Amino acid sequence: MSLSAMSRKMILVAAIALGCAGPGFSPLSAAEKMTPEKLVSLHLDAIGPADVRTGMKSRVFRGEGVWRVFQGGHARLPGTVLEASDGNSISLRFDTDGNPTYYGEHLVYNGKNVRIFQGFPGGRSPLGAYCMTNKALLREGLLGGVTSTAWTLLHLEARGAKLKYAGLRKVEGRPLHRLDYKVRKGGGPETVQLFFEPYTYRHFQTRYSNAAYGRVATTMVTETFSNFQHVDGLTLPARWKIHYNRSVQGGGPGSMVAEWEFAFKTVVHNQPIDPSLYELGTAAR
C-alpha cells in the first residue's frame, strides 16, 4: 500500500478531540493523573484497535534514506531502506548501492540472536557498533518504535521491562509525556526515555544515553518519528530519523555527530517474510 498524506478525516478527528477537551484542559492536568499503565494503554489505542493490532503478524516498509555526518567527518550518502518485522523479529537494511567507503546498515534480530553487518571496510558503523553493544535495542523491540511489529510496548508483559512515568517534559519546544524504560536483562543503554504526544499519545521520540571511559565520553542516540499515516487500520509513522551524538570531553578524537533519515514509501502487512532478510553477508559477525 502506498503511503500518502494523512487523511482529512484523521485531521478532523484530532481537531474535534482538541476542541472537546475544553479551555480548562491542558497537558499538565492530564499529566497529574497519568500512570505508566495508563500511558501505555492510551498509546496502544493510538496505534489502532486491539483486534487490528494483534491481526498484524508481519510488516515490510520500503523507502528512501540518507546518511549524513556533521562532526568527525563530512558525508551525505543517499540509499534505499527496507524494514521487515515478523512478531519479535526485525531486520533493518539501509543500502548505499555499493558505496566503497560506507556500505550501509543491516541490523537483525531473528528472535534469538542480534547480528550486525559491518558497514565500513574496517568494521561496523557507529550505529551498528552501538546496537551491538546495546543489544536490547533490537532484542526488546525498542529500535524503530511502532514501525515494527516487535515494538516493545506491544509485548510489554513478555519483555518484563520496568516503566516509570516521569511527567511532561519539553522536547523541541513542546510538552511531551516521558516514560522511563529499564531493560530487563541488561545489555542496554544506561537510560532509555520514551516520549509521547499529550493529545494523540503517538510515540514521538526515544532517547538512549551511555557514558564510558570514566564518563569522559558520552553517547546519545535519538530516534524521532513523524509524518504519521493511516495504513490498514493502524496509525504509523512514515518518517524515521536516528541521530547519533558521541561527545568526548574537550572535543577530542572520537567525537562524532551523524544522522540516518528514512522516508517510507510503501508498507505491506501479513505477507510472508523472506528468510534471507534475517541473514547477513560474509562481512557480518
Q: Output the CA–CA distances (angstroms, integers) from residue 36 to 14, 31, 74, in the order listed.
A: 23, 11, 41
pLDDT in tens, 27-67: 545 556 899 999 999 999 999 999 999 999 999 999 999 99
Burial (CB count <10 Å: 0-12, 13-18, 19+), residue 76: exposed
pLDDT, residue 99, reads 93
What are the residues whose beta carbons fall under 8 Å from the beta carbon of 178, sequence distance 6 or more?
165, 166, 167, 168, 169, 193, 194, 195
The model carries a pTM of 0.88
Domains of the chain: 8-278 (2.50.20.10)
pLDDT, residue 32, reads 64
Cell representation of residue 110:
531473528
Q: What is the CA radius of gyration of the chain?
A: 19
The alpha carbon of 260 is separated from its chain's Cα centroid by a whole number of angstroms, namely 12
pLDDT in tens, 135-182: 999 999 999 999 999 999 999 988 889 999 999 999 999 999 999 999
DSSP for residue 45: H
pLDDT, residue 30, reads 53
Helix residue spans in 6-84 (DSSP H):
8-21, 27-32, 36-47, 50-55
266, amino acid identity? T
Helix (H) or strand (E) holding 210: strand 203-212
Judged against a pLDDT cut of 90, whether residue 187 lies above it is answered with no
Report d(CA 96, CA 278) in Å as an integer.
19
pLDDT, residue 184, reads 82
- Angle value at C-alpha 247, between 245 and 253, nearest 5 degrees: 115
Helix residue spans in 93-247 (DSSP H):
126-133, 136-139, 156-159
